[in-house]
Structure formats: structure tokens, C-alpha cells
Amino acid sequence: MKKNILIITGSPRDNGNSTELSKYFAKGAQNKGHQVTIFNAAKNKINPCVNCDNCWKKGKACSFDNDHFNELSEYIESSDVVVFSTPLYWFTFSAQIKSVIDKLYSYCVPSCNKSIKNKESILLCSAGDPNNAVFNSLLLTFKDINNYLGWTVKDTLLVGGVFNVGDINTNTALNKAESLGYCL
Ligand SMILES: Cc1cc2nc3c(=O)[nH]c(=O)nc-3n(C[C@H](O)[C@H](O)[C@H](O)COP(=O)(O)O)c2cc1C
């Protein structure tokens, strides 16, 4: 079955390691015939949630007219699978991805009459440290977020030992990312 796949990337670096994972993932998914949308949270303007509790008061998820979460929210609503692609920053998501996650608050408030439950999600992450334990906190947080949203974590691909741009280029993780996309 053809799926709508949304990939949200959160690296501020062009051609960063996590972004490369996303590109290969997208390639695999497209080769399988899925519809893939890539949204770059680092290049778009997603401000941190300020808890104004004005979600939906102007008909859109976020009441700030210039916040690109209002475009992203429509992609989220229509997606079957949401892929979060992030560099590991201080054992967790980059601020760019965290701002997106914070904005999902708009789907948890009483004024929301839309449901985004029952989606699948995937986490792609790159880190400088080669020790897999560096992903522990991120993984726990990701699982809690998904439980809360009513989403199912379909898979995770966590790649350590890649620090500089280009480090991932010779890594077998890129093939794994492509297979992950193809196997959806
Ligand atoms: C602000 C910042 C925090 C970081 N924190 C960690 C960390 O906690 N653990 C780690 O292994 N690498 C850390 N790194 C390194 C990045 O995770 C690593 O370079 C990653 O591959 C970057 O992904 P990107 O190329 O997609 O931007 C950090 C880098 C930055 C800039």
C-alpha cells in the first residue's frame, strides 16, 4: 500500500550526517512507490512554543502567522509515517526538532478538533560518539512522546562515530537507511 511519508530534518548543516540518512531513507521509500515529503525544520522558521494557548484560534495550529509549523502541521495530518531526522545534541534532539515536537502541543489542547493519532514514526540520528549508550536518553524520550501521541515507533536508526560533515559517506548506515525506507 502506498504511504504518505513525512521526513522532518533537524540538522542546521547542509549535507550533515543525519540529513544524509534522510536522503537515503527517502530514496528507498520513493523506489517502493511511496509519496515522500521532506521538511527541513532548520531552514524553516519554527519558533519554540510559548504556551500562549492560542492554538487554533485563528483556524491554524499555531496562532503566529509567520510560523512555518502551520505548513508542517498540514503535512503531519496527512502523513501515515513521520520520520524525525536529528543530530544528537547533548544526548537528545537538536533544538530545531525539539521545537517541532513542542508545537505538537497544539494537538493536545481542548480547542483542537483534529486527531493525529495512529501514525507510525521512525527516528534517524547521527552522533559523534561511537558509544551506543549516548542514544539512551533520546530513545527513552522518543518512546514516551510516541506513547503520548498514540503513535507506534516502527524503527530507529542511530549512527554513532560520525562527527564531521561527510563522515557518514562511507558508512553502511546509509544502505540501512535506504532499506528502511524501502521496507515500509
Ligand atoms: C551543539 C552540539 C551538541 C552535540 N552533542 C553531542 C552529544 O551529546 N553526543 C555526541 O555523540 N555528539 C554530539 N554532537 C556531535 C553531533 O551529534 C554529530 O556531529 C552529528 O553527526 C551531527 O549531525 P549532522 O551532521 O546531521 O548535523 C554535538 C554537536 C553539537 C554541534
Identify the CATH number of the domain in which residue 125 sits.
Answer: 3.40.50.360
Q: Which residues lie closer than 8 Å to 180 by C-beta, 6 or more apart?
A: 25, 28, 122, 155, 157
State whether the beta carbon of 28 lies less than 6 angstroms from ligand 1: no
Domain containing residue 163: 4-182
Reading the chain (184 residues) residue by residue, the pLDDT tens digits are: 999 999 999 999 999 999 999 999 999 999 999 999 999 999 999 999 999 999 999 999 999 999 999 999 999 999 999 999 999 999 999 999 999 999 999 999 999 999 999 999 999 999 999 999 999 999 999 999 999 999 999 999 999 999 999 999 999 999 999 999 999 9
Q: Could you give the number of structural domains in the chain?
A: 1
pTM of the model: 0.98
The string over 88-110, giving b where at least 16 C-beta atoms fall within 10 Å of a residue's C-beta and e elsewhere, is bbeebbbbbbbbbbbbbebbeee
State whether the beta carbon of 163 lies less than 6 angstroms from ligand 1: yes
